């Protein structure tokens, strides 16, 4: 089984973290020729990362890969047994993908569109507020008492909130939400979280 993509990408690190949480070390690889090559497009015409290749089965997109690994690999399930907790977990993942990620993208593009930064920061604040609302502040993990897909989703995204904190004060957006701030402190100190952040930091230095 192979997963292709960069460790800097939160979309790559989501399924990587999911596999690790289940006790499997899935190491992202570069694709020979790159993701725009004909060989890559033959596996995935979407031509984005990540891409999972399991034998003759090729699967793109972060969340489908994560769901596949949760079913495929041995180890603890990455969704709560409780129906409502599982629904909240999936909702938080959805919030991250459709609210948090586009706002982060606005920050990434600030050099080309500096006028878009205030709206991007407002979008980040909204997204974090939505996540805080749907969490139980007493939960050790994003949802419940065990690592789930929601943790695998948020950890590599929150890395960038720390990265942008010095220039844009994005850390305060987390600090303003005490339950989320407490989760983030625990996540950064955890074995899975600290390893992920160290790998993303190294990948960022490599391209800076």
Domain membership of residue 172 (yes or no) is yes
Domain membership of residue 31 (yes or no) is yes
pTM of the model: 0.96
87 and 68, same structural domain?
no
Task: Give the single-character DSSP code of 31.
Answer: P
Residue 168: give the domain boundaries. 83-207
27 and 96, same structural domain?
no
**Residue finishing a domain among 29, 53, 72:** 72
Q: Would you place residue 30 in the very low, low, confident or very high pLDDT band (cuts 50, 70, 90)?
A: very high
What number of residues does the chain have? 208
64 and 96, same structural domain?
no
Nearest to 13 by CA among 194, 206, 205: 194
Instruction: Report yes or no: 104 and 127 within 8 Å, Cβ to Cβ.
Output: no
**Residue finishing a domain among 72, 102, 120:** 72
State residue 93's pLDDT score: 98
Q: Are strands 57-60 and 51-54 parallel, antiparallel or unpaired?
A: antiparallel
Domain membership of residue 108 (yes or no) is yes
Place of tokens 């909130």: 161
CATH number at residue 197: 1.20.1050.10
Calpha distance 91→10 (Å, rounded): 18
- Give the H or E element holding residue 82: none
Place of tokens 């844009």: 168
CATH number at residue 37: 3.40.30.10
Number of compact structural domains in the chain: 2
Which stretches does DSSP call E strand in the chain?
A: 2-4, 28-29, 51-54, 57-60
102 and 53, same structural domain?
no
- With pLDDT > 90 as the criterion, what percentage of the chain qualifies? 99
Compute the mean pLDDT over every residue in the chain, rounded to the nearest whole number.
97
Mean pLDDT of 24-49: 97
């Amino acid at each position: 089984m192979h997963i292709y993509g960069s460790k800097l990408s939160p979309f790559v690190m989501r399924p990587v973290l999911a596999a690790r949480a289940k006790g499997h070390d899935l190491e992202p690889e570069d694709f020979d020729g790159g993701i725009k090559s004909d060989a890559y497009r033959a596996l995935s015409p979407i031509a984005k990362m990540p891409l999972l290749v399991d034998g003759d089965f090729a699967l793109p997109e972060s969340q489908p890969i994560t769901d596949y690994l949760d079913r495929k690999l041995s180890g603890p399930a990455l969704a709560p047994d409780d129906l409502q907790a599982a629904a909240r977990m999936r909702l938080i993942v959805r919030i991250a993908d459709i609210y948090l990620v586009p706002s982060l993208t606005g920050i990434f593009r600030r050099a080309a569109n500096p006028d878009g930064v205030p709206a991007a920061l407002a979008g980040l604040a909204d997204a974090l507020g939505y996540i805080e609302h749907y969490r139980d502040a007493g939960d050790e993990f994003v949802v419940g008492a065990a690592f789930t897909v929601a943790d695998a989703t948020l950890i590599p995204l929150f890395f960038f909130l720390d990265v942008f904190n010095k220039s844009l004060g994005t850390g305060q957006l987390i600090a303003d939400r005490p339950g989320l701030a407490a989760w983030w402190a625990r996540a950064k100190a955890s074995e899975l979280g600290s390893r992920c952040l160290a790998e993303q930091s190294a990948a960022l230095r490599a391209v800076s």
